[in-house]
C-alpha cells in the first residue's frame, strides 16, 4: 500500500509535466509531400500533422510553389520564404492569426486574396499582394513592410490599434482605398514610398482614410488622384505628382514639420481641411507647379509659423482662411481665384512676392488684429481696366517693401503704417 502512494504522486507529476511542456512552441516545416498545396493536408508537413496554435511554422523549402489556406489558421509564428525561388502563401479568403513575431523573407509572398490577418509583428522583406475583390482586414498588430506591398483590388481595412509601417514601397495599383474599421488608432507610417501607379485621369481616385505619419518618406502620384482624408503628421519628406495627376490633402488636420519638398508637374493641393505647422514651425518648399491652396484653413494658433520658400498658389473658388499664426513668404504667392481671409491674430509676412493675379481681395475675419507685413513686393498683375479692383482690407505695415500695380486698381482700405 505504501508503494502505491509513492507511485501515484510520481505519475501525477509526469502527467502535469507532459501537459505543461506540450503547449510550448514546436517547429513544423513544409515539405509538400502530400498534395503539394493544401495547408490542411498533414502529409505536406514535417512532422506529418496539420500545424496547431502553438507551432512555429516554416515554409522555407526551396522551389517555386504555393501554399493555400483551406480553413481559419492560428499559429504561434510564421517564417515564409526560402533561399531561392518563390514561396507563396495564399489566404483564399480565410483568416490567419500569427501570435508572435513573424517574417516574410525576400523570396516569400503573401497573396492576400481575402480574409483577416491578425499579427503581433509581421516583417515583410518579400511582398504582400492585396489583390482580391473581397474584403481584407489587418485585424491587429503591426505590419512592417521593408520591400513591397501592392494593393490592386478589393477593400483593405486597418482594424483597431493596427499599424502599417511602410519602409519600402506601398503601391496603390488601382483605384483602391485604404480604410479604417473600428475605433482608432489606425495608422500608416511611412519612411519609404507611398505611390499610386494606376488611373487614366485625375478622376481615378484612391483614398487613404487612416492617420498618415510621414517620417521623411515619399508620397508619389504617378497616375490618377491620391487623397489623404483622415489627417496626419508630415515630418519632412518629398511629395510629387506627375503631369495630369493630383495629390490632395482633404479633410482632417494635417500637421507639417520640417521641410516639405517637391517639384510636381501635376497638382498638389489642400481642400476643405486644416494645415498646421508643428511646434518648431514648418517650411513649404514646393517648386514646379506649386502647392495649391484651394480651400480650408492654414494655422489655428498664434504661435504657429508656416514658411513658404516655393510657390504657393491661392486658387479655386473656395474660401481660404489664415486662421491664426504667421504665414511667412520667402517664395512666391500667386492668388488668382477665391476668397482669402486673415483671422484674428493672423499675420501674413511677405518678404518676397505676393501677386494679386485676378480681381481678388484680402479680407478680415473675427476681431483685430489682422496684419499684412511687407518687406518684399505686393503686386497686382491682372485687370484689363481701372475698374478691375482688388482690395486689401487688413492693416498693412509696409517695411521698406514695394507696392506695384501693373493692371487694374489696388485699394488699401483698412489703413496701415
Question: pLDDT tens digits, residue range 307-318?
Answer: 999 999 999 888
Give pLDDT tens digits for 128-180: 999 888 899 999 999 999 999 999 999 999 999 999 999 999 999 999 999 99
φ and ψ of 249, to 5 deg: -90, 110
Opening angle at CA 224, ends 223 and 225, nearest 5: 120
pTM of the model: 0.91
Range of the domain at 403: 67-412
The bridge status of strand 291-293 relative to strand 311-314 is parallel
Residue 228 contacts residue 206 (beta carbons within 8 Å): no
CA distance 88 to 165: 22
Structural domains of the chain, count: 1
Residue 41 resides in a domain: no
Residue 188 contacts residue 214 (beta carbons within 8 Å): no
Residue 106 resides in a domain: yes
Q: Give the rounded distance of the alpha carbon of 233 from its chain centre.
A: 9
59 CB-near residues (< 8 Å, 6+ apart): 29, 30, 67, 78, 79, 80, 81, 87, 89, 108
Residue 36 resides in a domain: no
Radius of gyration from C-alpha coordinates of the chain: 29
Residue 167 resides in a domain: yes
The per-residue DSSP string of 381-407 comes to ---SSTT-EEEE-SEEEESS-EEEESS
φ and ψ of 42, to 5 deg: -65, -25
Residue ranges in the chain modelled with pLDDT below 70? 1-23, 201-202, 386
Residue 47 resides in a domain: no
Q: What is the pLDDT of residue 174?
A: 95
Residue 156 resides in a domain: yes
Give pLDDT tens digits for 208-247: 999 999 999 999 999 999 999 999 999 999 999 999 999 9
Q: What is the pLDDT of residue 13?
A: 38
Residue 50 resides in a domain: no
Residue 314 resides in a domain: yes
Residue 255 contacts residue 229 (beta carbons within 8 Å): no
CA distance 355 to 334: 5
Amino acid at each position: 500500500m505504501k508503494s502505491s502512494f509513492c507511485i501515484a504522486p510520481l505519475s501525477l507529476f509526469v502527467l502535469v509535466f507532459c501537459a505543461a511542456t506540450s503547449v510550448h512552441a514546436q517547429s513544423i516545416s513544409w515539405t509538400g509531400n502530400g498534395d503539394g498545396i493544401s495547408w490542411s493536408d498533414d502529409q505536406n508537413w514535417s512532422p506529418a500533422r496539420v500545424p496547431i496554435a502553438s507551432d512555429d511554422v516554416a515554409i522555407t523549402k526551396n522551389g517555386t510553389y504555393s501554399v493555400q489556406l483551406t480553413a481559419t489558421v492560428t499559429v504561434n509564428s510564421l517564417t515564409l520564404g526560402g533561399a531561392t525561388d518563390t514561396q507563396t502563401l495564399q489566404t483564399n479568403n480565410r483568416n490567419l492569426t500569427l501570435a508572435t513575431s513573424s517574417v516574410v523573407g525576400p523570396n516569400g509572398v503573401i497573396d492576400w486574396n481575402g480574409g483577416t490577418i491578425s499579427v503581433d509583428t509581421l516583417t515583410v522583406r518579400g511582398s504582400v499582394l492585396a489583390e482580391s475583390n473581397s474584403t481584407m482586414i489587418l485585424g491587429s498588430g503591426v505590419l512592417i513592410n521593408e520591400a513591397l506591398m501592392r494593393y490592386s483590388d478589393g477593400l483593405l481595412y486597418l482594424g483597431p490599434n493596427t499599424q502599417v509601417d511602410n519602409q519600402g514601397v506601398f503601391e496603390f495599383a488601382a483605384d483602391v482605398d485604404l480604410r479604417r474599421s473600428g475605433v482608432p488608432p489606425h495608422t500608416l507610417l511611412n519612411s519609404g514610398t507611398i505611390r499610386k501607379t494606376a488611373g487614366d485621369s485625375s478622376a481615378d481616385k484612391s483614398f487613404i482614410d487612416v492617420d498618415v505619419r510621414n517620417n521623411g518618406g515619399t508620397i508619389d502620384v504617378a497616375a490618377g488622384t491620391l487623397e489623404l482624408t483622415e489627417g496626419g503628421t508630415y515630418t519632412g519628406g518629398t511629395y510629387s505628382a506627375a503631369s495630369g495627376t493630383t495629390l490632395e490633402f482633404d479633410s482632417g488636420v494635417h500637421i507639417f514639420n520640417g521641410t516639405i519638398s517637391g517639384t510636381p508637374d501635376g497638382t498638389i493641393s489642400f481642400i476643405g481641411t486644416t494645415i498646421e505647422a508643428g511646434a518648431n514651425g514648418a517650411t513649404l518648399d514646393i517648386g514646379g507647379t506649386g502647392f495649391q491652396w484651394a480651400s480650408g484653413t492654414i494655422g489655428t494658433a498664434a504661435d504657429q509659423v508656416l514658411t513658404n520658400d516655393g510657390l504657393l498658389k491661392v486658387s479655386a473658388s473656395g474660401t481660404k482662411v489664415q486662421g491664426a499664426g504667421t504665414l511667412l513668404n520667402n517664395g512666391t504667392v500667386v492668388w488668382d481665384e477665391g476668397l482669402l481671409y486673415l483671422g484674428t491674430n493672423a499675420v501674413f509676412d511677405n518678404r518676397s512676392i505676393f501677386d494679386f493675379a485676378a480681381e481678388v481681395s484680402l479680407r478680415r475675419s473675427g476681431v483685430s488684429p489682422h496684419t499684412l507685413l511687407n518687406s518684399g513686393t505686393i503686386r497686382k498683375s491682372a485687370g484689363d481696366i481701372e475698374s478691375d479692383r482688388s482690395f486689401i482690407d487688413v492693416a498693412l505695415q509696409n517695411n521698406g517693401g514695394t507696392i506695384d500695380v501693373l493692371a487694374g486698381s489696388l485699394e488699401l482700405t483698412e489703413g496701415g503704417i
